[in-house]
């Protein structure tokens, strides 16, 4: 029986995208990706990366350097108890400057070549598989291969040259904020398909809050129990992140900055009062004090921002 898979874009889906990444030291996993990968593995999915790497064709890195980058990504995932089943990359680009790679290729997304190649080599059922990525090329490649698709729109990213038009024309089945939310969608859709027929998506490209099916009746199947377990794990992780953000929003430094700012405003008001009463000397002193408070406030705000 063919296996099911979740195909993943790399940059801004698994790791941060600093541009053309050519240094393993700059590899940084996005928050929660290890939990998403572990959860999907527990649900029976293979995790396969499919990534365009035109930097090789442009002479910005070599295949050997790319292997080191992917080794570092695997190492960071392994430290957190997660792993990838395979990584496929396309080094070709028709506008490249390195002769062997300066060609068009059906491996390059939005062509589905990498997905089809992985399906053949890993014996995957594409109709039961998903494609998750942050760009229209990822979604189009997944659709051409016959996969369901999820687009990650965690932050506003300007489209690549030539993608402006396709960005509007290609709509994913779901749109989410990050890979963790994508895993939640996949697990919920898998559970729903076991308990009732899956209704067609009426409006494609809906966000997470409107596309998740309502909770169905509890089931006792082992796969459903696994899904419930990983969903609870994801929920706990999201709550942990939310608590961390709440603590980050309040800090002693920010409190002091607010007090200093209020003191500066209050002192400036006293300057006006002194001037109205013809107490120029007192007004001059108050102006200096207000300046000190304002400098304190600005310094504290900058310190809090840089934490």
Residues designated as active site? 9, 11
Starting at the edge strand that comes first in sequence, how are the strands of the sheet with 45-52 ordered? Answer: 86-90, 45-52, 4-8, 130-133, 148-152, 174-176, 206-207
Largest CA distance in the chain: 92
Q: How far is CA 153 from CA 37, 95, 128, 195, in A?
A: 18, 28, 23, 30
- DSSP 3-state percent helix, strand, coil across the chain (nearest 5): 55, 10, 35
What are the DSSP calls for 163-212, one per residue? -HHHHHH---SEEESSHHHHHHHHHHHHHHHHHSPPPPPSSTTEEHHHHS
Contacts with 243 (C-beta within 8 Å, 6 or more apart), sequence order: none
Residue with tokens 């609870």: 232
State how far the Cα of 202 lies from the Cα of 210, in Å rounded to an integer.
11
Is the Cβ–Cβ distance between 37 and 82 less than 8 Å? yes
- Residues 111 and 117: their CA atoms lie apart, in Å, by 12
Q: What sign for the dihedral angle of Cα 43, 128, 53, 207?
A: negative
């Amino acid at each position: 029986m063919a296996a099911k898979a979740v195909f993943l874009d790399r940059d801004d889906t698994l790791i941060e995208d600093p541009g053309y990444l050519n240094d393993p030291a700059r590899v940084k996993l996005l928050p929660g990706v290890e939990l998403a990968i572990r959860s999907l593995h527990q649900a029976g999915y293979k995790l396969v990366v499919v990534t365009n790497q035109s930097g090789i064709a442009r002479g910005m890195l070599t295949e050997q350097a790319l292997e080191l980058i992917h080794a570092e990504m695997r190492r960071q995932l392994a430290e957190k108890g997660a792993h990838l089943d395979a990584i496929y990359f396309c080094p070709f680009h028709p506008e490249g400057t390195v002769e062997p790679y300066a060609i068009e290729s059906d491996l390059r997304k939005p062509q589905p070549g990498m997905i089809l190649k992985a399906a053949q080599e890993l014996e995957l059922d594409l109709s039961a598989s998903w494609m998750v990525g942050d760009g229209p090329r990822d979604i189009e490649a997944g659709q051409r291969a016959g996969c369901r698709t999820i687009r990650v729109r965690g932050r506003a990213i300007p489209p690549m040259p030539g993608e402006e038009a396709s960005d509007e024309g290609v709509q994913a089945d779901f749109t989410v904020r990050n890979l963790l939310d994508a895993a939640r969608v996949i697990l919920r859709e898998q559970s729903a398909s076991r308990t009732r027929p899956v209704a067609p998506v009426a409006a494609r490209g809906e966000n997470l809050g409107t596309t998740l099916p309502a909770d169905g009746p509890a089931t006792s199947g082992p796969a459903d129990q696994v899904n419930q377990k990983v969903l609870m794990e994801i929920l706990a992780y999201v709550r942990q992140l939310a608590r961390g953000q709440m603590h980050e929003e309040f800090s002693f430094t920010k409190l002091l900055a607010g007090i200093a700012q209020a003191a500066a405003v209050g002192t400036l008001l006293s300057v006006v009062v002194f001037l109205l009463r013809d107490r120029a000397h007192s007004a001059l002193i108050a102006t200096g004090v207000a300046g000190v408070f304002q400098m304190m406030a600005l310094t504290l705000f900058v310190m809090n921002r840089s934490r």
